[in-house]
Amino acid sequence: MLKSLQDTTTLHNGVKMPWFGLGVFKVKEGSEVIDAVKSAIKHGYKSIDTAAIYQNEEGVGQAIKESGVPREDLFITSKVWNSDHGYDAALQAFETSLNKLGLHYLDLYLIHWPGQNKTYKETWRALEKLYKDGRVRAIGVSNFHIHHLQDLISEAEIKPMVNQVEYHPHLAQKELHAFCQREGIQLEAWSPLKQGQLLSEPTINEIAEKYQKSPAQVILRWDLQNKVVTIPKSIKEQRIIENANIFNFELSPEDMERMDGLNKDERVGSNPDVMNVGF
């Protein structure tokens, strides 16, 4: 059983990645993101997940600097956006993100979306170079279906270490999860609470009452027990603390099954096969 925010999963290249972190999607640049990240780090979070398209990398970087926590104690993720697919463009995008963050390296760099024209293979070559050059400790993808992963792996020199996807009880992605486990690719959940829509789900509320936990805590615990890294977003300090208070209980096999039974293959975000923004 996972015991604390400091617990990690070991990626296939040996890098240790926290099971739990803070996502900053739709968190405004400036004081909002700075305060959220500083609050998270103050309360023990080690992992912060941002992206070029979030337009808040500078604030994340400032918060890291002001936190007083040594850089090597943190795990920082960013992502290359759709308009920067391709070898040279991706390398330049990385430099831009790193400069905005004010860091010398990233712990994890992801291709944000696969896109429609398979330029992700050229983008992946750029990430492989960054990895081999020691600029990034781990590389991966986001929003990749099985067929995207198979296509990428067939020509890649280095297999992705992480696949970050929309994942929650209404979108359990069981086939994708099983594929990633077989391939040694760590699955990571974005929008684990389905942007708050799951907090009123009756079954989840029943289970939450049983354990004297919040619906959010039950969902995030379900993620971890399914061996999925999770990065819930919040800008409120109390919610940041509450979300992470999930290491002192364990869902029973029966309650895990009840949660699994809520799957509807229902997305709150775009389907990667049709998402075409920025191309």
Mean pLDDT of 199-217: 98
Measured distance CA(50)–CA(25) in Å, rounded: 7
120-138 pLDDT, tens per residue? 999 999 999 999 999 999 9
pLDDT at 278: 41
Structure tokens at 188: 């990571």
CB atoms within 10 A of CB 178: 12
Do 27 and 54 touch, CB atoms closer than 8 A? yes
Mean pLDDT of 230-242: 97
Q: How many residues does the chain have?
A: 279
Mean pLDDT of 35-62: 98
The per-residue pLDDT of the chain, averaged, comes to 96
pLDDT of 115 strictly over 90: no
pLDDT at 182: 98
Mean pLDDT of 19-25: 97
Mean pLDDT of 79-99: 97
Do 243 and 234 touch, CB atoms closer than 8 A? yes
Mean pLDDT of 20-30: 96
pLDDT of 276 strictly over 80: no
Measured distance CA(230)–CA(223) in Å, rounded: 7
pLDDT at 275: 72
Q: Is 54 a catalytic residue?
A: yes
pLDDT at 1: 78
Look-up of token digits 């604030």: 59
Mean pLDDT of 200-206: 98
Annotated catalytic residue: which of 54, 120, 131, 167? 54
Provide φ and ψ at 255, rounded to 5°.
-75, -35
Look-up of token digits 């486990």: 181
Q: Please tell me the pTM assigned to this model.
A: 0.97
Q: How confident is the model at residue 279 (pLDDT cuts 50, 70, 90)?
A: very low
Please name the amino acid found at residue 266.
E
137-192 pLDDT, tens per residue? 999 999 999 999 999 999 999 999 999 999 999 999 999 999 999 999 999 999 99
H-helix or E-strand spanning residue 137: strand 136-142
Share of the chain above pLDDT 90, in %: 95
Q: If you ran DSSP here, which 8-state letter would residue 187 be given?
A: E
Orientation angle between helical segments 146-155 and 174-183, nearest 10 degrees: 20
Please name the amino acid found at residue 246.
I
Closest C-alpha among 62, 169, 152 to residue 110: 152
Mean pLDDT of 17-24: 98
Contacts of 47 (CB under 8 A, 6+ apart): 17, 18, 20, 21, 22, 74, 75, 76, 77, 231
